[in-house]
Amino acid sequence: MNTATSHGEDGEKLLILAAVCLAALVLPLSFSGGAVATPAIGRDLGGSATMLTWVTNSFMLSFGSLLMAAGALADQFGRKRLFAFGLGGFILTSFAMGFAPSTLWLDVLRAIQGVAAAASLSSGAASLAQEFDGHARTRAFSMLGTSFGIGLAFGPLMAGVLIEHFGWRSIFFIISAIGVLAFVFGIPRMRETRDPGATGLDYLGTITFTAMLALFTFGVIQAPESGWGSTLVVTLLVLSAFMLGTFIVVENRAKRPMLELSLFRYPRFVGVQILPVGTCYCYIVLVVMLPLRFIGAEGMSEIEAGLLMIALSLPMLIVPLLVASFTRWISAGVLSGIGFLIAAAGLYWLSLIDFSAAKLALIMPMLVIGIGAGMPWGLMDGLSVSVVPKERAGMAAGIFSTTRVAGEGIALAIATAVLAALAHTSLLRIMPENVDGIASRVSEAAQRITAGDMAHAAEILPEATRHALSTSYADAFTSLLHVLIVITLLSAVATFAFLSHTPEQDDEPGAEAGAKKVTDTVASA
């Protein structure tokens, strides 16, 4: 009887794990699928290039800025309750996006979807930590991480197939249906758990942190349209800096801060925050921008673009597991630095490729980039809790998760602005001078090109041939790859400097107990 009960409980736990993994799967599907769908959304709904950029960035902004706040709410009000609220909200907003009448409405719904995603992921991960212990917990979070990898690897292909046969709206209907499966299988079987010592949400910290990220992202995205020196952009960036200062003051004075700033006194902890920043620029930026180029500039179908993107993301399913076994002989910091060097080499190789050539020529450098990015990707979660005293492991994981997701949104905004500026410069070289309104039209065309909307760019600049526009975009994209190479190399140097010499704390006695403190604040594994 006890054995039967044990098997029954194990079965229930596996269903809970499956539900949380399904909920985690739809997040990268929504992210990468939305990127592939952006050109089709622009053709159908129209909207400015800035509004099309927000299709991805509004989701990443709200998701990244509210992860830690969602964890605190889950502790106070219950993990199961917040998981149900977050997943239910994600399902409803995804379904509603399938009926969005304009790009503006789609952007608003994407922002709400990001809020729901933060709630479901934080509470779902915390629930897994309550259900599993020891090696079973490690395997559970490994499955959670694998779910993310599957979503990133096959999201573009799934989106391409759906767009080709059923239109871009079908992407969000399918995502909503997957969410319903997770809800039906997971919610009835989850136990309600809370943190008895929870003191509530750090409201001032949450507001100032979210405002800082929103103002900065809005300023950077608006810059190509309004100009870096415009009153609007300067005001947004100054207000963002003010909110950052206010956030630091608030957190230093709070009894239970959302973000424990004292952790940044540990040099190795600072080094760990470089890892997600580096992977943002050598990997995440390409997950969004390569489909826009393949579809918009190169004229590929959505299916062709999705198939090509597998080369970039497929290593994420294999490399993290392999590289973890290498830590027996080489430190995680050194392996992460080597990964950045490999990714930089892949980026340089990609910058030499003619995108109109055979697809095999694109696949090989994309594989190299994916392999390189996969090395720190598989190690940085463990490093985030091993480089601080074990009693600070939970807060360290929360900070790291926020750095990762918020950094992705910021990296996308910066890369988009840089590409628009480079495209603008490239277009000016080929356009005739002394034509009325040419400067403003070139600026608008550069933004359209950046969003993968070559058709509207051609309408805005009838003086330029389609070939000239494609060549200008190719030159700008190559220059952007050079910028990404520099950032990736700097990430490698910083990783070697901060993380390669000091012994890993998780090699010390008692580290396993410390790692278990990553229960309620783990937001991504």
Predicted confidence (pLDDT) per residue in 212-267, tens digit: 888 888 888 888 777 778 888 899 899 999 988 998 888 777 776 766 777 677 77
Of the chain, the percentage scoring pLDDT greater than 70 comes to: 82
Q: What is the pLDDT of residue 134?
A: 61
pLDDT of residue 504: 44
pLDDT at 524: 37
The per-residue pLDDT for 365 is: 94
Report the pLDDT value the prediction gives residue 5, as an integer from 0 to 100. 46
479 vs 196 pLDDT, higher one:
479
Higher pLDDT, 289 or 500: 289
* Average pLDDT of the chain, as a whole number: 77
Higher-confidence position of 190 and 287: 287
- Cα dist. 408→268, 345, 353, 487, 505 in Å? 21, 21, 26, 14, 27
Q: In the prediction, which pLDDT does 7 show?
A: 46
Q: Which CATH entry fits the domain spanning 266-503: 1.20.1250.20, 3.30.1180.20, 1.10.3720.10, 3.30.1490.270?
A: 1.20.1250.20
What's the rounded mean pLDDT across residues 347-370? 88
Between 391 and 245, where is the model more confident? 245
- The pLDDT, as a whole number, for residue 346 is 95
What pTM does this model have? 0.78
Report the alpha-carbon distance of residue 409 to residue 406 in Å, rounded.
5
Q: What per-residue confidence (pLDDT) applies to 190?
A: 73
Read off the pLDDT of each residue in 42-65 and give the average, rounded to a whole number. 79
What would the two tokens of residue 235 be? 């005001």
Query: Which CATH superfamily includes the segment(s) 1-190?
Result: MFS general substrate transporter like domains (1.20.1250.20)
- Phi, psi (rounded to 5 degrees) for 448: -65, -40
More confident position, 57 or 519: 57
In the chain, the percentage of residues whose pLDDT exceeds 90 is 12
Domain residue ranges of the chain, discontinuous segments joined by +: 1-190, 209-257, 266-503
Average pLDDT over residues 441-449: 78
pLDDT band, very low/low/confident/very high, at 506 (cuts 50, 70, 90):
very low
pLDDT for 167 beyond 90: no
- List pLDDT tens digits, range 296-314: 777 788 888 888 888 988 8
* More reliable by pLDDT, 151 or 244: 244
Q: Are 289 and 415 in contact (CB under 8 A)?
A: yes
Distance CA 384, CA 263 (A): 11
Mean pLDDT of 492-501: 82
**Whether residue 465 has pLDDT greater than 70:** yes
- If one compares 339 and 149, the residue with the highest pLDDT of the two is 339
Alpha-carbon span 52 to 39, nearest angstrom: 8
Res 523 pLDDT > 50: no
User: Which of 73-77, 384-388, 425-429, 513-517 has the weakest average pLDDT?
Assistant: 513-517
pLDDT of residue 512: 36
Q: Check for a shared fold between 1-190 and 266-503.
A: yes
Q: Tell me: pLDDT of 357 over 50.
A: yes
Q: Taking residues 67-78, what's their average pLDDT? A: 73
Task: Band the pLDDT of 412: cuts 50, 70, 90.
Answer: confident
3-state SS of the chain: helix, strand, coil percent to 5? Answer: 80, 0, 20
| 67 against 11, higher pLDDT | 67
How many whole angstroms from its chain centre is CA 204? 25
Distance CA 108, CA 120 (A): 19
Predicted pLDDT of residue 366:
94
User: How many Å from the N-terminal Cα to the C-terminal Cα in the chain?
Assistant: 35
pLDDT digits (tens, 9 = 90+) for 170-215: 888 988 888 888 888 777 777 776 666 556 667 787 788 888 888 8
In this model, does residue 96 exceed pLDDT 80? yes
DSSP-assigned letters across all residues of 438-484: HHHHHHHHHHHHHTT-HHHHHHH-TTS-HHHHHHHHHHHHHHHHHHH
Cβ–Cβ < 8 Å for 23, 88: no
Find the range with the poorest average confidence among 6-15, 150-159, 297-306, 332-341: 6-15
What pLDDT sits at residue 287? 87
